[in-house]
Amino acid sequence: MLKITDLVKRYGTGDPVLKDLNLTIEGETVVSVIGSSGAGKSTLLRCINKLVAPTSGSIVLNGTELTGLTGRQLREARRKIGMVFQGFNLVDRLTVMENVQSGRLGYLSTWAALTRRYPREEIRHAYELMERVGIAHYADKRADELSGGERQRVGVVRALMQRPEILLADEPTASLDPKTSEQIMQLLRDLAGELKLPVLINIHNVNEARLYTDRIVGMRYGRIIFDSVPGDLTDAAMDEIYSGIPSQDRAQDRAADAAAAPRLAT
């Protein structure tokens, strides 16, 4: 279970990017985070894996408080958090297998990592995962020879090689065409169920959030203002998330418009 309590992130002396944010994720659920650019979606994910340090608040993953960790303890905790990036973050000159095995670097000795001497069991596991996502036949191919969808599948497998307790995905389909985007979202959804793994996805495509995730969290100006199942994401809720118009205000506006309509017609 991931439990975030009163999370605040401030850069310098500016206004907080995240403001007293509270969020709990458990089970094999797939949760999407939506909102306008600047809402704090990416910062939220980066605080969870401590790519950026929270200013205050608490982030607990399966009983481990992450916010105060440093050094070796932080490296060990990060092993439990898989991350899929928008820009893939692959090493182009390395093969698919070598990129996938980089997900195990936190477990290898420095010598094994430098010489790329991967344990036989890890190679076998990598092939199993690559077979599952349809890229096993590319194991010896350089990463820069792959399409965008294939590269993102490599990124997914690399994250799963960590044997994570949660999977984070930061705009995983932003660089992909619509059909490939749907395939990646379906893959993430399927893997969540197969591996009993919670998945948290920062995404701009609201239709994909509705279709492929179990729960939608809407953010605006660093706060969560919507948290429910996709069926509850009404036009009024969308207005509030993307336009800053509270649902009750929008309902009042519509009522006023309806009342004014007969007068305007006369």
CA separation, residue 220 to residues 21, 33, 249 (Å): 11, 11, 16
Lowest average pLDDT, out of 17-26, 100-109, 126-135, goes to 100-109
The sheet with strand 215-220 has its strands ordered as: 81-84, 166-170, 199-202, 30-34, 215-220, 223-228
- Asked if residue 253 belongs to a domain, the reply is yes
- Asked if residue 245 belongs to a domain, the reply is yes
Q: What percent of the chain has pLDDT over 90?
A: 74
Residue 57 has pLDDT above 50, yes or no: yes
Domain that holds residue 245: 234-266
The pLDDT tens digits for 62-103 are 999 999 898 989 988 998 999 999 889 899 999 999 999 988
What token pair was written down for 110?
């420095």
Q: What pLDDT score does 115 carry?
A: 67
Residue 253 has pLDDT above 60, yes or no: no
Provide mean pLDDT across the span 211-234.
97
- Asked if residue 18 belongs to a domain, the reply is no
Q: What pLDDT score does 252 carry?
A: 44
Residue 254 has pLDDT above 60, yes or no: no
Provide mean pLDDT across the span 38-64.
94
Amino acid 193 reads G
Confidence of residue 46 (pLDDT cuts 50, 70, 90): very high
Region at 205 (left for phi over 0; alpha for psi -120 to 50; beta for the rest)? beta
Confidence of residue 111 (pLDDT cuts 50, 70, 90): low
- Asked if residue 252 belongs to a domain, the reply is yes
Confidence of residue 201 (pLDDT cuts 50, 70, 90): very high
Say which residues have a Cβ less than 8 Å from residue 224's Cβ, sequence separation at least 6.
Answer: 21, 22, 23, 217, 218
Confidence of residue 113 (pLDDT cuts 50, 70, 90): low
Asked whether the beta carbons of 164 and 197 are under 8 A apart, the reply is yes
- Asked if residue 265 belongs to a domain, the reply is yes
Q: What pLDDT score does 243 carry?
A: 87
* Domain count within the chain: 1
Helices (H), the chain: 41-48, 71-78, 96-101, 110-115, 120-133, 148-160, 178-195, 206-212, 235-243, 247-265
Lowest average pLDDT, out of 98-102, 117-121, 222-226, goes to 117-121
Look over the chain and give the mean of its residue pLDDT values, rounded to a whole number.
89
Asked whether the beta carbons of 48 and 24 are under 8 A apart, the reply is no
